[in-house]
């Protein structure tokens, strides 16, 4: 009797990507293309190719290119804002040290590839007002509130002088970071009289605001 047994190899089924994985891959590809090429200049077919999916697939996940733009904003800004908020809530040091840490996180985001989405939003705000409103109400507002939270903490602890308008002061803290990021990606390469120097910029920025906020 032949005792040899055949060895049957069972092939593993091909790994399939879940719908949420595909949607995120499309969003990440769109983020890179929108920032480098511009929103209007990027076709959804190019996004699909960069994401490694069929050219019609982005239309299944996003109703329009404008909806994809909103998803790009969420992808770029949502998680960094969550992490920054967690850091502020858990911080145990002085308010000045907390403010420096928060500014450092905003700077790291602004100067990263994802930070290019800020310039993109500003450039396209007039053409896509619904996207601009989406960003302002969901993300710009949350970013300013982080600074306002730190200011209120400092005033309550006696580490920051009394401030008449905390919300507006928070805007004064947040906007220079965003605008410097935009400048780096727009005019800085052509400014021969004032070469880009983020270290000097942030050193002057921190010196100015910390001195103005101390009791």
Q: pLDDT tens for residues 93-132?
A: 999 999 999 999 999 999 988 899 999 999 999 999 999 9
Residue at 133 is within a domain: yes
Residue at 57 is within a domain: yes
Non-local CB neighbours of 174 within 8 Å, separated by 6+ positions: 106, 143, 144, 147
Query: Within this chain, do residues 88 and 183 fall inside the same structural domain, yes or no?
Result: yes
The dihedrals phi and psi of 59, each to the nearest 5 degrees, come to -70, -20
Q: Give the domain-ending residue among 43, 62, 81.
A: 62
pLDDT by 10s per residue, the chain, length 215: 455 544 444 444 444 555 567 899 999 999 999 988 889 899 999 999 999 998 889 988 998 999 999 999 999 999 999 999 999 999 999 999 999 999 999 999 999 888 999 999 999 999 999 999 999 999 999 999 999 999 999 999 999 999 999 999 999 999 999 999 999 999 999 998 888 899 999 999 999 999 999 99
Residue at 90 is within a domain: yes
Could you identify the residue written with the tokens 């004032």?
194
Residue at 68 is within a domain: no
103 is in which domain, residue-wise? 73-213
Q: Please state the pTM of the whole predicted model.
A: 0.82
State the Cα–Cα distance between residues 14 and 1, nearest whole angstrom.
Answer: 38
Q: What is the pLDDT of residue 196?
A: 85
State the Cα–Cα distance between residues 9 and 7, nearest whole angstrom.
Answer: 6
Query: Within this chain, do residues 179 and 90 fall inside the same structural domain, yes or no?
Result: yes
Q: What is the number of domains present in the chain?
A: 2
State the Cα–Cα distance between residues 88 and 92, nearest whole angstrom.
Answer: 9
Query: Within this chain, do residues 84 and 57 fall inside the same structural domain, yes or no?
Result: no
Residue at 35 is within a domain: yes
Q: What is the pLDDT of residue 9?
A: 46
Q: What is the pLDDT of residue 7?
A: 46
Query: Within this chain, do residues 195 and 146 fall inside the same structural domain, yes or no?
Result: yes
Residue at 25 is within a domain: yes
Query: Within this chain, do residues 91 and 188 fall inside the same structural domain, yes or no?
Result: yes
Query: Within this chain, do residues 85 and 57 fall inside the same structural domain, yes or no?
Result: no
Q: Give the domain-ending residue among 7, 29, 62.
A: 62
Query: Within this chain, do residues 100 and 44 fall inside the same structural domain, yes or no?
Result: no
Query: Within this chain, do residues 186 and 93 fall inside the same structural domain, yes or no?
Result: yes
Query: Within this chain, do residues 44 and 84 fall inside the same structural domain, yes or no?
Result: no
Residue at 5 is within a domain: no
Query: Within this chain, do residues 85 and 133 fall inside the same structural domain, yes or no?
Result: yes
Query: Within this chain, do residues 54 and 100 fall inside the same structural domain, yes or no?
Result: no
Percent of the chain with pLDDT over 70: 91
Q: What is the pLDDT of residue 18?
A: 59
């Amino acid at each position: 009797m032949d005792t040899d047994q055949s060895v049957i190899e069972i092939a593993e089924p091909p790994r399939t990507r879940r719908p949420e994985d595909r949607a995120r891959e499309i969003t990440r590809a769109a983020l890179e293309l929108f920032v480098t090429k511009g929103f209007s200049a990027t076709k959804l077919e190019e996004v699909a190719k960069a994401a490694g999916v069929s050219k019609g697939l982005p239309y299944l996940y996003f109703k329009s290119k404008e909806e994809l733009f909103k998803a790009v904003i969420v992808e770029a800004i949502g998680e960094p804002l969550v992490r920054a908020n967690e850091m502020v809530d858990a911080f145990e040091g002085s308010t000045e040290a907390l403010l420096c840490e928060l500014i450092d996180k905003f700077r790291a985001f602004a100067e990263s590839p994802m930070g290019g989405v800020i310039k993109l939003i500003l450039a396209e705000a007039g053409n896509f007002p619904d996207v601009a409103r989406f960003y302002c109400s969901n993300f710009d507002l949350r970013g300013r509130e982080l600074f306002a939270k730190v200011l209120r903490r400092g005033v309550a602890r006696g580490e920051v002088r009394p401030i008449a308008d905390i919300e507006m002061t928070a805007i004064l803290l947040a906007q220079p970071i965003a605008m410097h990021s935009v400048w780096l990606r727009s005019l800085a390469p052509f400014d021969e009289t004032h070469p880009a120097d983020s270290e000097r910029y942030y050193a002057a920025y921190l010196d100015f605001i910390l001195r103005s906020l101390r009791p």
